[in-house]
Copies of this chain bind each other. A is one copy, B any other.
């Protein structure tokens, strides 16, 4: 009997594995759909008996089909593991799926699914017994922008138990179309840092997240991000929180468009920052393309960011870290950028997230890798 029993169990496991669909972790309450199959295909269901047509867009359009009960269904191609924004479309409009949580992305509150299957998911999963930091929503008045704004601030576990301790600060930027909430709700930055600190792999640090969309008061067409951060945000944070308020203890990183902003701040304000990270984004010198044009021109390269790269020996002695990273599915151009910088004598670390695309699993991993190298 034994071999048969073994076979049966194996067959059951196989059948279960092939058929298993699990609700997306982004579903509201106990909603059953969207569901994600073991193969990464996502199945959507929307009850809308009166809708003449319905489409789900997840990277591309998937027209939905309606059953006799007025329930529309579509199943996507296999998706790589991680976090993917999507929309429902009807009558020429794109909108949210009421079945899932909304996240600020794509310039609006957007729907998303989380495709499980990351072998390393433990690093961004809460664990019982791990001391927790706190994520604070803090209002501040920006004189540069002439308005009240909101920042998220992560303080590490122990911040309040050690009322005289001071901590280094990481300024961490979201991507285009997102806002200051992204690194918490999509990125799980608080969980990642809590776990890293508990495991002794990262130095306890404060993380400041602000919206990267900033206009000077009275001029909505102009950008004032650098000015807002350097004149409003950093002084506010250093006054409000127990920071180590010098360049040796101040880092900046960001993703995608936020990576470009992080490089602008980190390389452009050498008196303020000495640790810089860019996830899925570029250092712009001249007219950056796949192989950045400005990098080929020694004069442009030496002049960039007020000459920060002019003397590589000085740069390498004074910058503790330049961290360049992206997802494997995004291609090799950032690996190329890292290589060119090295050719030109600028030390940097390159990291690539296996399999993942221009999405939040990539950036969770980037933060996980980056944070372990900070302030050491």
Q: Does A148 contact B (CB under 8 A)?
A: yes
B141:A126 contact, CB within 8 angstroms: yes
Contact check: which of B53, B96, B136, B148 meets A91 at CB < 8 Å? B53
Within 8 A of B (CB), among A86-124: 88, 90-96, 98-99, 101-102, 107-109
C-alpha gap A191/B148 in the complex (Å): 12
Q: Which residues from chain B contact A98 at a C-beta distance below 8 Å?
A: 94-95, 107-109
A139:B160 contact, CB within 8 angstroms: no
A138:B134 contact, CB within 8 angstroms: yes
Stretch binding the partner chain, chosen from A44-52, A77-85, A270-278, A293-301:
A44-52
Knowing A109-B102, A136-B136 are in contact, say whether A92-B126 is a contact too (CB < 8 A): no
Closest to A95 in B: B95
Q: Which residues from chain B contact A46 at a C-beta distance below 8 Å?
A: 93
- A residues within 8 Å of B by Cβ? 28-30, 46, 48-54, 88, 90-96, 98-99, 101-102, 107-109, 126, 128, 132, 134-139, 141, 148, 160, 163, 184, 190-191, 213, 215, 220
A29:B213 contact, CB within 8 angstroms: yes
Closest to A30 in B: B220
Q: Which residues from chain B contact A137 at a C-beta distance below 8 Å?
A: 134-137, 184, 190
Closest to A161 in B: B163
B51:A93 contact, CB within 8 angstroms: yes
Copies of this polypeptide in the complex: 2
B136:A134 contact, CB within 8 angstroms: yes
**How far is the CB of A89 from the nearest CB of chain B, in Å?**
10
Q: Which residues from chain B contact A29 at a C-beta distance below 8 Å?
A: 213
Knowing A49-B92, A98-B108 are in contact, say whether A136-B135 is a contact too (CB < 8 A): yes
B160:A141 contact, CB within 8 angstroms: no
Contact check: which of B91, B138, B141, B163 meets A90 at CB < 8 Å? B91
Per CB-CB distance, the 10 closest pairs between chain A and chain B, nearest first, are: A50-B92, A95-B95, A102-B109, A163-B163, A51-B91, A98-B108, A135-B137, A134-B136, A90-B91, A51-B92
Additional 13 contacts, C-beta under 8 A, given A50-B92, A52-B52, A102-B109: A29-B213, A30-B215, A48-B91, A51-B91, A51-B93, A91-B91, A94-B98, A96-B102, A96-B108, A102-B102, A109-B109, A126-B148, A132-B138
A interface, over-half SS: loop
Closest to A140 in B: B132
Q: Which residues from chain B contact A134 at a C-beta distance below 8 Å?
A: 134, 136-138
C-alpha gap A213/B191 in the complex (Å): 23
Contact check: which of B48, B88, B108, B163 meets A28 at CB < 8 Å? B108
C-alpha gap A98/B98 in the complex (Å): 14
Closest to A28 in B: B108
C-alpha gap A141/B125 in the complex (Å): 12
Contact check: which of B96, B138, B148 meets A95 at CB < 8 Å? B96
B163:A92 contact, CB within 8 angstroms: no
Q: Which residues from chain B contact A92 at a C-beta distance below 8 Å?
A: 48-51
Contact check: which of B54, B91, B101, B191 meets A109 at CB < 8 Å? B101
C-alpha gap A19/B134 in the complex (Å): 46
Contact check: which of B30, B48, B101, B109 meets A96 at CB < 8 Å? B109
C-alpha gap A184/B102 in the complex (Å): 17
C-alpha gap A359/B370 in the complex (Å): 45
